[in-house]
Amino acid sequence: MSTGDQQPKRANYDEILRLSLERGFFYPSAEIYHDAPAGFWEYGPTGLLMRNNFVREWRRMLVKRDDMLEIDGSLILPKIVFEASGHLSSLVDPIVQCTKCGTRIRADKYISEKTGLQIDERLSPEDFQKLIAEHNLHCPKCGGSFGMPTKFNMMFRVGVGAEDVDAYLRPETAQSIFVDFQRLSKTMRMKLPKGIAQVGKSFRNEIAPRQALIRLRELMQAEVEIFFNPEAKFDPQKFEKIKSVEMNVLSQPYTDSQKEVAKRFTSTEAVSVFGGKEIIAYYFALLQEFYEACGFRKEDTRFRELSASDRAFYTTSAFDFEVNTSFGWLELVACNYRTDYDLGNHSKYSKNDLSVMDQEKKVLPHVIELSLGVDRSLFALLDFKFFHEQNRDVLRLPSNIAPYLSAIFPLMSKPEFESKAEAIYENLKQEEYNVFYDDSGNIGRRYRRMDEVGTPYCITVDHDTLQNDTVTLRERDSMAQSRIKISEIASTLRDLRDKH
């Protein structure tokens, strides 16, 4: 079992969870109460800084553009929004309840588990009943018989006002964007194509939440909905800028055994896979570049096309952007071609024509969506970057994502070291990046603590500092040390972050 302990070893799922719990990344919600429901997690101080950095990069690379707006809508929306969007009838899980003990379980999952068959979750209640009877299935808890299968809506209902009016917590941020489209197109002098972005919480009442941040009942999404005229040609100057960006694409049809064989395409080559739509290749290229900037290697990612039976109800063509984690391929971004499905339905239900003028014609824009799961992206990044080395655990996050860019240490607990170190800390705090101050324990332990939370650069005020106003700059991955002037720390760190 003792093979090459000198080599860094990637941590496994349980070790990432331990790191998260013990180093302030994330932990279960209301955990001091033993019966708190599953599927709710909190971000601790380091996790939140990491998430803020991730969102900042998302804004920098995908949102701060003259063809993009960002909004922030309500989490509670009235029932009619989800009647129009189809979520009320279609965002459902099939469940069955035991007539004896009352236990409720997912019908499709349970039948599949017991029979080994692949079960489509969209079968009718009658079909589920037939399968249960055919295979003589009973309650896993008490052996009782099941009642009639039903559809369980995954939205959380809330009652508004003294009249208890029906409303729902949004299951995706996207609906505010569609419902607000008319005001934004009228007041923001919008020209197609235009993206509208939103980052925030969404809610899904999962029957079986699992795997920490992977399947949550309360999750954070960063979504971009790009509105475009399906008749218009995409701007060749814009396409030119990304035409050589490469991405891995696994296109339909493929069998289960072919699932691992994605092909490497340039954006230009990928256009044909995307139904000839250059605009899809363009935004996929931006997404690919964003994830690379966050530290995901291209060889670990792919765009996987979904089959008709795997797609969400509102989309006619869909790709999942996935990463190959230590616990299997994981979807990070749902990339959906939603056509005019949403704007069309909201036009109908609200009796407002949501079409706009483009190229002197009235057009109901089509929509491409990049729906990014923030929590699982961060969890996946920890999975790729947490390593055991011989004498330390080290989280090799890129500088733009690491919770703290730098830590400041006085070598000894003496006023002359501490006052210099504090002055450096007070100065660096004014920068946009985050810095940490630590004056307790020996210097080696302080380095180890910062290695574990991924701090790329540590700065120590030592004996030489008192002589010549230089400090030791220690780099996390190589552990190499160099000396820099106090006056140059802020700009040196800024440059190091921008290079990642």
Only segment of 64-72, 245-253, 277-285, 457-465 that touches a second copy (CB under 8 A):
64-72
Asked if 22 interacts with a second copy (CB under 8 A), we say yes
**Applying CB under 8 A, which part among 135-143, 269-277, 422-430, 482-490 lies near a second copy?**
422-430
Restricted to residues 228-247, the positions that interact with a second copy (CB under 8 A) are none
Q: Is 8 in the site for a second copy (CB under 8 A)?
A: no
Shortest Å distance, C-beta 100 to a second copy: 16
Element holding 375 (H helix, E strand): helix 374-385
Q: How far is the CB of 6 from a second copy (least distance, A)?
A: 30
Q: Which residues contact 300 (CB under 8 A, 6 or more apart)?
A: 323, 324, 384
- Cβ 111 to a second copy shortest distance, Å: 16
How do beta strands 157-160 and 165-169 pair?
antiparallel
Query: Minimal distance in Å, beta carbon 295 to a second copy?
Result: 19
Q: Which is nearer to a second copy, 85 or 336 (CB)?
A: 85
Which lies closer to a second copy via its Cβ, residue 158 or residue 312? 158
If one asks whether residue 444 binds a second copy (CB under 8 A), the answer comes out as no
Task: Considering the complex, state which of residue 89 and residue 419 has its C-beta at the smaller distance from a second copy.
Answer: 419
Site mask, a second copy, residues 178-207, x = CB under 8 A? -xx-xxx--xxx-----------x-x-xxx
Residues in contact with a second copy, shown as a per-residue x/- string from 392 to 411 under the rule CB under 8 A = --------------------
Q: Quick one: 256 or 432, whose CB is closer to a second copy?
A: 432
Q: Give the whole-angstrom CA distance, residue 284 versus residue 368.
A: 10
Packed helices 374-385 and 13-22: angle between N→C axes, nearest 10 degrees: 110
Beta strand spans in 268-325 (E): 301-305, 317-325
Closest approach of a second copy to the CB of residue 359, in Å: 16
- The region that residue 92 occupies, defined by phi over 0 for left and psi between -120 and 50 for alpha, beta otherwise, is beta
User: For the residues of 397-466, what is the DSSP string, one character each?
Assistant: --TTTSS-SEEEEESSSSHHHHHHHHHHHHHHTTSSS-EEE--SS-HHHHHHHHHHTT--EEEEE-HHHH
386 binds a second copy (CB under 8 A): no
Nearest distance from C-beta of residue 411 to a second copy, angstroms:
18
Gap between the Cα atoms of 402 and 53, Å rounded: 8
Paired tokens of 137: 């299935």
Look at residue 129 and give its three-state secondary structure: helix
Is 252 near a second copy (CB under 8 A)?
A: no
Residue ranges in 351-370 that form contacts with a second copy under rule CB under 8 A: 352, 354
Instruction: Quote the least distance from Cβ 4 to a second copy, whole Å.
Output: 32
Give how far Cα 272 sits from Cα of 239, 260, 281, 359, Å: 14, 21, 9, 25
Is residue 65 part of the contact set for a second copy (CB under 8 A)? Answer: yes
CA distance 78 to 472: 57
Instruction: Choose between 320 and 438: whose C-beta lies nearer to a second copy.
Output: 438
By beta-carbon proximity to a second copy, the closer residue of 270 and 354 is: 354
Size of the site for a second copy (CB under 8 A): 83
CB atoms within 10 A of CB 226: 23
Omega prior to 253 cis, within 30 of 0:
yes
Among residues 92, 190, 97, the alpha carbon closest in space to that of 144 is found at 97
Q: How far is the CB of 304 from a second copy (least distance, A)?
A: 30
Interface with a second copy by CB under 8 A: which range of 34-42, 265-273, 301-309, 456-464?
A: 34-42
Spatial separation of the C-alpha atoms in residues 155 and 152, rounded to whole Å? 9
Q: Per CB under 8 A, does 29 bind a second copy?
A: yes
Task: Please list every residue from 78 through 97 that binds a second copy, using CB under 8 A.
Answer: 78, 80-81, 95, 97
- C-alpha separations of 53 from 119, 389, 397, 474 in Å: 40, 26, 11, 22
Residue 163 CB, nearest approach to a second copy (Å): 7
Site for a second copy in 42-61 (CB under 8 A): 42-45, 48-49, 51, 60
How far, in Å, CA of 284 to CA of 260, rounded?
20
Site string for a second copy, 146-185 (x = CB under 8 A): ------x---xxxxxxxx-x-x-x------x--xx-xxx-
- CA 155 from centre of chain: 20
Give the shortest CB-270-to-a second copy separation in angstroms.
25
Report how far residue 317's alpha carbon sits from residue 272's, in angstroms, rounded to the nearest whole number. 13
Of 124, 263, 310, 349, the one binding a second copy (CB under 8 A) is 349
Near a second copy in 268-327, by CB under 8 A: none
By CB under 8 A, residue 477 contacts a second copy? no
